[in-house]
């Protein structure tokens, strides 16, 4: 009888115990240019929205803010960084440099701006994933080599996650781009999301590990 009473009390205590608090969502800022902003697409088809949907479908609690500005360069991103990435941000997906390429900006200028962005974000203890771009042969061998080497070098220098080519599987495919041939259509965005998803899950894991430490 005494054992039964103790068991009953134990079960009652478990029933009365409060449920564990739900883990706070990981707050991510997608910080980039028109490729992030979703040029020519409805908001729900833009990269940040589609990425958030894909992550939630896999059970991740996330909030992704769209901080993409069409036409932005790396230097432009640096100028607006402080107000585009608010306090409370856990992670940033950094996608800048495509417009620098289109304008033929010296890769040294682009690298300097991206370096400053990465330094500021890491100083704020914000986890970062840097997305690379690739220059075409039409830019000349010297420009192509300097531009393409810039992204992996920066990722290594700042010890951040690196996704080598944001437009992987989409660039130059007419069926996956708008008529301008530069910006992905809705189907193209979904291809980008599918490719980048595992790396973003690594980014989320970094945030969660930092919270637990």
Which residue numbers are catalytic? 34, 180, 183
Distance CA 189, CA 191 (A): 5
Cβ contact 50:194 at 8 Å:
no
Cα angle at 24 between 18 and 26, to 5 degrees? 160
Q: How many residues does the chain have?
A: 213
Bridge partners (DSSP) listed for residue 27? 63
User: Alpha helices, DSSP H only, in 106-162?
Assistant: 107-123, 141-158
- Is 87 strand, coil or helix? coil
């Amino acid at each position: 009888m005494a054992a039964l009473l103790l068991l009953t009390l134990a079960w009652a205590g478990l029933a009365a115990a409060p449920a564990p608090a739900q883990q706070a969502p990981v707050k991510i800022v997608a910080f980039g240019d028109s490729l992030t902003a979703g040029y020519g697409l409805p908001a729900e088809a833009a990269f940040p929205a589609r990425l958030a949907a894909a992550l939630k479908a896999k059970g991740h609690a996330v909030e992704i803010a769209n901080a993409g500005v069409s036409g932005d360069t790396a230097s432009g991103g640096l100028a607006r960084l402080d107000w585009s990435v608010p306090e409370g941000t856990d992670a940033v997906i950094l996608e800048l440099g495509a417009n620098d390429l289109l304008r033929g900006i010296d890769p040294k200028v682009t690298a300097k701006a991206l370096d400053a962005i990465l330094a500021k974000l890491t100083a704020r203890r914000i986890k970062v994933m840097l997305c690379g771009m690739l220059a075409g042969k039409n830019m000349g061998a010297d420009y192509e080599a300097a531009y393409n080497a810039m992204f992996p070098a920066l990722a290594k220098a700042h010890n951040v996650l690196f996704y080598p080519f944001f437009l992987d599987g989409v660039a130059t495919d007419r069926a996956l781009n708008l008529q301008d041939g530069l910006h992905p259509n809705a189907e193209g965005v979904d291809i980008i999301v599918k490719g980048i998803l595992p790396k973003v899950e690594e980014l989320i894991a970094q945030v969660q590990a930092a919270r637990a430490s």
